[in-house]
Structure 1
Amino acid sequence: MSDILYEIDLSEINLSDIDLTDERYKISVSDHDIIFLAQSIKEAGLTYPPIVRPAGKKFIIISGFNRVKAQIYNKKTKIVAYQTKPDASDYQCLLKSITALAFQRPLTHRELIICTRRLSSFLDKEQIAEKSPAIFNTKLNIRFVEDLLTIGALPDKALELIHLGNLSLKSAQRISSFEKATMEIFLNIFSKIKASNSKQFEIIQHIIEITARDAVNPTDFFKTKAIREILLDENKEPGLKTTHLRAYLFERRFPAIFQTHQLVREKTAALKLGGNIKLLPPENFEGQYYSISFKAKNYDEFKTHSHHLAAALESKELKEIFNL
């Protein structure tokens, strides 16, 4: 890398000479109110001047977008900034924009995706991995760089969902192999629910398996009344939508197992074991063992639970449960 990037001058420039519309080097999308930063600069001064690049009669921001906006909010007309040489390359300016942030704090997944996508215009995946400690302040292996580049090809909506925590990297990588219409369906679904990584992957897998088995187009499946009622219900919070969607998809994917679960629940309720005794069948009825458990804080509670269990031994429902 040439030394030209580091030939920078610290000088005072007019804020009106900065082109705020040019965000080619912007990496972070801050959700924080600029007011707090503006107040901090007003009280403590500008600790870290932004870095700008001359472009004709204007300047382009390389690092420090929020600091510039904070000074504008403070009604300042000038700002102290570092200037690169006019002939600094795009690659050198991109490196500076990344390192200025990465050596201040760890980059988010969204930021890593944006950075690797932009770096891929100048470096191959092996070079990105090799240079990652100096660029990202952390070591990235080639496989992870490949994953980031794959996810980086998704629509911007996917990056927003990753940023919000609605879409994991694993799920994003999975849907990246789908056709565009199918990809949009899953982005739509995950924009309306909140699920863990494993639950996201389960939802994707169930929908793909259901539509393949039933020879249904994923777009048509998404339009089914049951799914739309779950996702479009404004009275349900995202977590509850996830629970209802998973239950519906499980029923569609494994109808026989679902019916057996229903039957076990009905017969277990008929045993009247009480709310503190749990009788659980083997998961998906693939094993042989049922489990039963209860908690007791004293002898009397233990004795009461034991009576309920003894009474259940005489119930035909218990025998029917074990004969399913």
Structure 2
Amino acid sequence: MNEILVKNKNEDYRVYIDRNMFKLKKSLEEHKVKKGNRIFLITDDNVYNIHKNLIEKFQNNYNCNIISFKPGENSKNYSTIQNIYSFLLKNNADRNSILIAFGGGIVGDITGFVASTFMRGIKYINIPTTFLSQVDSCIGGKTAYNYNEVKNAIGSFYNPLFVYVSTEFLKTLNEEEFINGIGEVIKYGVIKNNKLLNFLDVNYKQILEKQDDELLYIIKESLYIKSNVIYKDFHDKGIRNILNFGHTVAHGIEVSSNYSISHGKAVALGMLVAIKISEKKANLPQEVYKKIEQLYKKFSLPYKYKVDNYSSFLYAIKHDKKNTNGITFTLLEDIESCKIKVNIGEKDLTAALKESIN
């Protein structure tokens, strides 16, 4: 089993990365989680149905209550959070209770926010089950829900007790859901690790076949990159902005498509737009765009997309949390070299869309 220590100024926590769930019990014991603890497992309906046997087995071994909600971005709202608050109170949750997020990024975000606010903060454990959440959102401390068509408008910074990543869950994902995570992995290669990009290029067949060795490598490398960045800037005021590469346009695409375009695919498209802007604003060599586009083709990631609802697209971008004095982008000067907090005009954005993904 691989381990990553995520360091921060308050309290460090561990990420356990393995092929299966066999060592979860040991991880719980290491963190003094006992069978007598009152545990609340939060998931969505799809994950519950797929892993029902595993969930019920856990429930039989621990003092565990379960709540699930409808899957998808449309459930990432305060109504879902209210239902969880009510469920916790009804079942006598207290400050010593422990939440477990069992699902993808939305489940993790919702559970983390509830944990950070219920009774002014209780412990939670993150067990990510999607590729996207395993390589990215399971660490970093960001918790949030969407509000008024603005993605992650309301949220907090709150870390889990620990994270347990198992590649076993990835075997249950369909091809589209699996590919959804590749966009974020490519992002990590672009901003910090060219060797990771080359690994994806050479080993794409094994990765698409979900071979454990390749999956364990890219999960570990992605989380290692992110953990180093967030240690330097936990609250996303400076260098952590590099993790948002591609996300400004991505959030616009997600909102304007009513979330019919998944986050990972939206990030992939957003990176191409950011790369095209970088050619003009940061003197990025044009070869980078071609290299990334070719990599997308190997993984069947989208590299063309037409924004139909441009007003909704622009509204989401203009209300992005990272904006300062206008639309703010993270750009690329070269592979592994980013330039943060660059203001971009609407004309530059429109031109880049036409020259890239449109």
TM over 0.5: no
Output the TM-score relative to the length of structure 2: 0.26
Output the TM-score relative to the length of structure 1: 0.28
Larger Rg: 1
Structure showing the higher strand proportion among its residues: 2
